[in-house]
């Protein structure tokens, strides 16, 4: 990083630790602003990365950038998210200690993008194999799924994460990612039933309505209009210019398949999402007695079918509550307000538990089947930052409590890291005074008398508990605490800015007023359970004790999850990424100083800098320091032969460092003041100029010698076609030598590389002999190294090339992708099917879609290739077996679709006709079929249409046309119409 210090007047300092006036917030802000204006969005505070969202694309995330940061010392290159990623990865590999990258910041600061960049870096730079590629795909594709179900459009961010996420990436002993696990916490469930004006519900609702096929919407009982659903109209923002819900739906559907969801599970998941929309449309009427009753029976029918529950039971659960008193169960009717709350509580619980189920399902797909030897982990924590709104609710209380805990952890870890480094280097550690926010954390989480415990008691006790009684109990229990006050307890000045239903907490980052309206309902909510792979839901109120155990509120559940998270983080070596939003308008280049100063405060950056600068501003290994500055001392220039520590000691004494300015540790030099380092950098710049001048004299003296050699060279060029003689021998020897040296530097690296330098006339014959010998040796060496698996892969690729090259539009996209052994493992194929196959060895299996002969309805199927036949399977049934000997041929279009036809003999009574199938891996699938059936020459690639036998002498036709997106459907003329996007021009 020192290489850029000479430009510090233009772009500030790359590490805030090097700020001369490090205690000045104004100096901190000016450095941040100066770098932001130059599109330098990353700055360090020691090992902490501060990132400012640029709100525009910067060309700093290419593969070349990844390679630039790969395996490089943390401070050798400019600050970047890739540097943090690589540093954590190398620390994990070299120190064999689990790492964790913590990403914090408020909504719109760029946390989600930062975590994506880290995942992409590992996906590109880590070692790979077939299995690893699958894990990489699933890790990356888990993002669009989680964003669809956990992100929403808010006033501050069009793709705001409304849940906290911690992801473990598991690496094997070779450093390859082989598995992962996601922990989610504090989903903003209140968004399901209410959104502020200008905001939206979770993305998935709009994606489903805008993008789902008509048939799917019909099954779910939904209309293609978000305005029809009460849970989607609260924010009055159904459309967002930056979001394409229809396109995002396709991305999510594909991602669900990649991460391991089958069609039944997707259908089940969408049933639940649709049920939430139907729940929101349940309307109530009121009897004379005040009791509520449901007026929308149609919604109940949909819900009963979608949720798989009894309609009468559900109806009763939405209009009554159960109370257990002295062991006796009593039912009590709800009034209109209570019933609406019960409906909303159920909706939030359904969605919340569904999200948890979704994460668990993703975790199953990411889980490494066999515990790898010497496995290591890098954790990614994407968490909301401390925020203050005009109206702060229960969720905001939880978010800020989480940040309070993280601030406590950050300072402790920073202090520990500093202390450990000092002790390792033998430098005396001087205790640092800092604000310890343990008093605030205790106020929130202490047993029996903390805010969460008080909330629990009010939510779970019998009787008429309410938000106001909770506030009163808060005043009675912790009313005298220095960090809490209420309207009742406050002085006259504070009362003017506080509502009667608010309490104020003095956090480490400032004061926040929290409104208690709805806090008991939100903290308690509803409960749901899973059974027989179906997600069932039951509404209950706070008095129900289903299993005779004390139920937990949402606040306690979050407290437990947070404690677990803190335990995980403490077990790992941390890196920090602190994200900052430069303005609320999401405009590129706009630097809102007031807004950013708030975030600097909330993120605790000045406190972090103060702790880091309590001792020494700069520390580097002796070798790095000596290598950079050795030219400044005659005794260390041009090289130092002794011990590194002695060389550094000699160097700094020559530079005139005073004893109070530095310390020498066991392997590093510690410099206390930035000005000392800057003076050394200025001296280095001056030295570079003098070195440049001293090198120019020898160059001048060599000019005359060069002139003589040039004359000999020119004379040799004139006589170059003559026989060897004194006039041309120097030139000919030079040309031959140059060619051989050029050849040595530019020899082909692979057998596929046919390049070869053009030889001079005198070496044409020798050059050709060298080329043949070298290529023979390359081929021999390559064949010797090739393993059986790779040989089999090449053989398959050669067959695919013979069949599809320059004939099928999506063939080029398949070339760089390895063919897998099978697309279905043993667990995904029904045991009855395997039993039916008997001793037949299964060579390949892949999920396909079969289009039936009546109406071309799409049916999910499995295609199994055995030694003797192709078998089409529906769940536990063998629907059709086609012996390879009887297979007449295979037809496929020239476009990018995956539709193909297996032609069977019409006279074979066992066969009902030709089979029309579709595969997402068409090139791989047909190559496998061709090899297994020995039908390489029997694959017909058709232009325009395919005619096939439907059975009973009837023929069917498939028409193929180019279009913008893939679409397979029955046309009005009775044909099967396939539209496929054009990928390549032939």
Residue ranges for the known binding site for ATP are 105-112
Cα–Cα nearest to 845, from 819, 825, 830 = 825
SS3 category, 966: coil
Catalytic, out of 268, 387, 418, 458:
387
Catalytic, out of 150, 180, 235, 385:
385
Q: Decide: 139 and 123 in contact? Cβ < 8 Å.
A: yes
Q: Which residues are annotated as a binding site?
A: 105-112
Catalytic, out of 161, 608, 636, 650:
161
Give CA–CA dist 291/149, Å, rounded. 35
Q: Decide: 588 and 56 in contact? Cβ < 8 Å.
A: yes
Catalytic, out of 47, 85, 87, 107:
107
Under 8 Å CB-to-CB from 438, ≥6 apart: which residues?
408
- Does residue 112 have an active-site annotation? yes
* Helix H or strand E segment including 321: strand 320-325
What's the DSSP call for residue 202? B
Angle, alpha carbons 870-875-879 (nearest 5°): 45
Strand-pair category, 510-515 with 527-531: unpaired
- Does residue 157 have an active-site annotation? yes
* Helix H or strand E segment including 981: strand 976-981
Catalytic, out of 157, 201, 767, 869:
157
User: What percent helix, strand, coil does the chain show, rounded to 5?
Assistant: 45, 20, 35
Give CA–CA dist 278/205, Å, rounded. 12
Catalytic, out of 43, 91, 104, 112:
112
Cα–Cα nearest to 245, from 204, 303, 296, 305 = 204
Q: Decide: 140 and 120 in contact? Cβ < 8 Å.
A: yes
Separation of CA 555 from chain center:
28
Cα–Cα nearest to 742, from 762, 727, 758 = 758
- Does residue 437 have an active-site annotation? no
Both tokens assigned to 117:
């960049």
Both tokens assigned to 319:
């209009």
Cβ count near 82 (within 10 Å): 24
What's the DSSP call for residue 15? B
Give CA–CA dist 98/171, Å, rounded. 10
SS3 category, 333: strand
Under 8 Å CB-to-CB from 801, ≥6 apart: which residues?
none
Cβ count near 695 (within 10 Å): 9
DSSP string, 762-826: GGHHHHHHHHHHHHHHHHHHHHHH--HHHHHHHHHHHHHHHHHTTTSTTHHHHTTSPPPS-SS-G
> Which residues are 918's β-sheet partners?
849, 899
Both tokens assigned to 958:
């498939």
Both tokens assigned to 810:
């999506």
**What does residue 490 show for φ and ψ, rounded to 5 degrees?**
-80, 165
Give CA–CA dist 80/51, Å, rounded. 9
Which string of b and e fits 155-165 if b means at least 16 CB within 10 Å? Answer: bbbbbbbbbbb
- Does residue 676 have an active-site annotation? no
Which sign, positive or negative, has the C-alpha torsion 963, 966, 972, 976?
A: positive
Give CA–CA dist 42/52, Å, rounded. 7
- Does residue 867 have an active-site annotation? no
Cβ count near 777 (within 10 Å): 10
Give CA–CA dist 875/801, Å, rounded. 33
Catalytic, out of 108, 164, 525, 647:
108
Catalytic, out of 87, 91, 160, 556:
160
Which sign, positive or negative, has the C-alpha torsion 257, 261, 265, 268?
A: negative
SS (H, E, C) 662-717: EEECCCEEEECCHHHHHHHHHHHHHHHHHHHHHHHHHHHHHHHHHHHHHHHHHHHH
- Does residue 387 have an active-site annotation? yes
Q: Decide: 195 and 206 in contact? Cβ < 8 Å.
A: no
Catalytic residues: 107-108, 112, 157, 160-161, 385, 387
């Amino acid at each position: 990083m020192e290489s850029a210090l000479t430009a510090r007047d233009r772009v500030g300092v790359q590490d805030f630790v090097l700020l001369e006036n490090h205690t000045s917030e104004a100096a901190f802000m000016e450095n941040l602003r100066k770098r932001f204006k130059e599109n330098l969005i990353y700055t360090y505070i020691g090992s902490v990365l501060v990132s400012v969202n640029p709100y525009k694309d910067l060309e700093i995330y290419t593969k070349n950038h990844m390679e630039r940061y790969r395996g490089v010392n943390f401070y050798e290159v400019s600050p970047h998210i890739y540097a943090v990623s690589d540093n954590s990865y190398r620390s994990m590999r070299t120190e064999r200690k689990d790492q964790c990258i913590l990403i914090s910041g408020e909504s719109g600061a760029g946390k989600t993008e930062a975590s994506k960049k880290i995942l992409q870096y590992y996906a590109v730079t880590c070692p790979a194999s077939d299995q690893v590629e699958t894990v990489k795909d699933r890790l990356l594709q888990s993002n669009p799924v989680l964003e669809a179900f956990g992100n929403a459009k808010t006033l501050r961010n069009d793709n705001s994460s409304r849940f906290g996420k911690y992801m473990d990436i598991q690496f094997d002993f070779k450093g390859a990612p082989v598995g992962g696990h996601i922990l989610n916490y504090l989903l903003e469930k209140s968004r399901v039933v209410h959104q502020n004006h200008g905001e939206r519900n979770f993305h998935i609702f709009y994606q489903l309505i805008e993008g789902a096929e008509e048939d799917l919407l019909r099954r779910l009982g939904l209309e293609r209009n978000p305005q029809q659903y009460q849970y989607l109209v609260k924010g009055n923002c159904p459309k967002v210019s930056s979001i394409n819900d229809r396109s995002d739906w396709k991305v999510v559907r594909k991602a669900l398949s990649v991460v391991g969801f089958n069609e039944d599970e997707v259908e089940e998941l969408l049933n639940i999402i649709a049920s939430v929309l139907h729940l929101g449309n349940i309307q109530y009427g009121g009897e004379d007695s005040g009791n509520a009753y449901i007026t929308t029976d149609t919604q109940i029918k949909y819900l009963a079918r979608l949720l798989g529950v009894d309609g009468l039971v559900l109806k009763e659960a939405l209009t009554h509550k159960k109370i257990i008193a002295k062991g006796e169960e009593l039912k009590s009717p709800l009034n209109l307000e209570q019933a609406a709350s019960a409906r909303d509580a159920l909706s939030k619980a359904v969605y919340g538990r569904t999200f948890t189920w979704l994460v668990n399902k993703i975790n199953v797909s990411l889980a490494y089947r066999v515990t790898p030897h010497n496995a290591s982990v890098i954790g990614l924590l994407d968490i909301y930052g401390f925020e203050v709104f005009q109206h702060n609710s229960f969720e905001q209380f939880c978010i800020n409590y989480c940040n309070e805990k993280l601030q406590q952890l950050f300072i402790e870890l920073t202090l520990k890291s500093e202390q450990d480094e000092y002790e390792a280097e033998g430098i005396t550690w001087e205790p640092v005074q800092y604000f310890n926010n343990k008093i605030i954390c205790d106020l929130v989480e202490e047993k029996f008398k903390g805010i969460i415990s008080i909330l629990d008691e009010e939510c779970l006790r019998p009787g008429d508990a309410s938000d106001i009684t909770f506030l009163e109990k808060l005043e009675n229990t912790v009313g005298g605490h220095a960090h809490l006050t209420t309207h009742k307890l406050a002085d006259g000045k504070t009362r003017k800015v506080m509502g009667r239903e608010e309490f104020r907490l003095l956090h480490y980052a400032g004061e926040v007023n929290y409104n208690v309206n709805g806090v008991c309902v939100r903290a308690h909510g509803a409960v749901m359970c899973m059974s027989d792979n179906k997600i069932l839901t039951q509404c209950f109120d706070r008095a129900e004790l289903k299993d005779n155990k004390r139920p937990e509120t949402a606040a306690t559940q979050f407290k437990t999850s947070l404690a677990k998270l803190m335990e995980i983080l403490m077990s790992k070596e941390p890196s920090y990424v602190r994200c900052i939003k430069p303005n609320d308008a999401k405009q590129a280049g706009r630097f809102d100083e007031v807004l950013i100063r708030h975030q600097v405060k909330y993120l605790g950056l000045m406190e972090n800098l103060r702790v880091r600068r309590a001792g020494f501003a700069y520390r580097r290994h002796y070798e790095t320091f000596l290598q950079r500055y050795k030219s400044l001392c005659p005794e260390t220039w041009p090289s130092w032969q002794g011990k590194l520590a002695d060389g550094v000691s000699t160097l700094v004494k020559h530079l005139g460092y005073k004893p109070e300015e530095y310390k020498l540790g066991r392997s590093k030099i510690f410099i206390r003041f930035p000005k000392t380092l800057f003076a050394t950098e200025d001296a280095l710049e001056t030295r570079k100029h003098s070195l440049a001048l001293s090198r120019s004299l020898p160059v001048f003296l060599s000019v005359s010698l060069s002139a003589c050699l040039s004359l000999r060279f020119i004379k040799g060029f004139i006589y170059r076609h003559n026989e060897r003689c004194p006039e041309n021998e120097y030139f000919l020897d030079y040309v031959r030598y140059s060619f051989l040296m050029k050849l040595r530097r530019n020899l082909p690296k692979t057998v596929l590389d046919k390049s070869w330098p053009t030889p001079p006339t005198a070496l044409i014959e020798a050059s050709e002999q060298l080329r043949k010998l070298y290529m023979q040796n390359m081929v021999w060496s390559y064949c010797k190294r090739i393993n059986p698996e790779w040989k089999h892969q090449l053989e398959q690729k050669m067959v695919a090339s013979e069949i599809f090259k320059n004939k099928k539009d999506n063939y080029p996209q398949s070339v760089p992708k390895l063919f897998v052994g099978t697309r279905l493992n043993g667990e995904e194929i029904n045991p009855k099917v395997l039993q039916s196959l008997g001793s037949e060895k299964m060579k390949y299996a892949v999920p396909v879609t079969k289009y039936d002969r009546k109406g071309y309805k799409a049916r999910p199927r499995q295609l199994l290739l055995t030694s003797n036949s192709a078998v089409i399977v529906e769940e536990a049934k063998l629907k059709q077996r086609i012996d390879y000997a009887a297979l007449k041929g295979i037809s496929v279009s020239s476009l990018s679709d995956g539709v193909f036809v297996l032609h069977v003999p019409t006279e074979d009574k066992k066969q009902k006709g030709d089979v029309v199938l579709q595969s997402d891996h068409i090139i791989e699938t047909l190559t496998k079929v061709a090899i297994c059936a020995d039908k390489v020459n029997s694959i017909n690639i058709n232009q325009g249409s395919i005619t096939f036998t439907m059975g009973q002498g009837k023929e069917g036709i498939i028409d193929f046309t180019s279009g913008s997106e893939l679409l397979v459907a029955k046309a009005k003329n009775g044909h099967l119409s396939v539209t496929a996007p054009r990928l390549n021009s032939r």
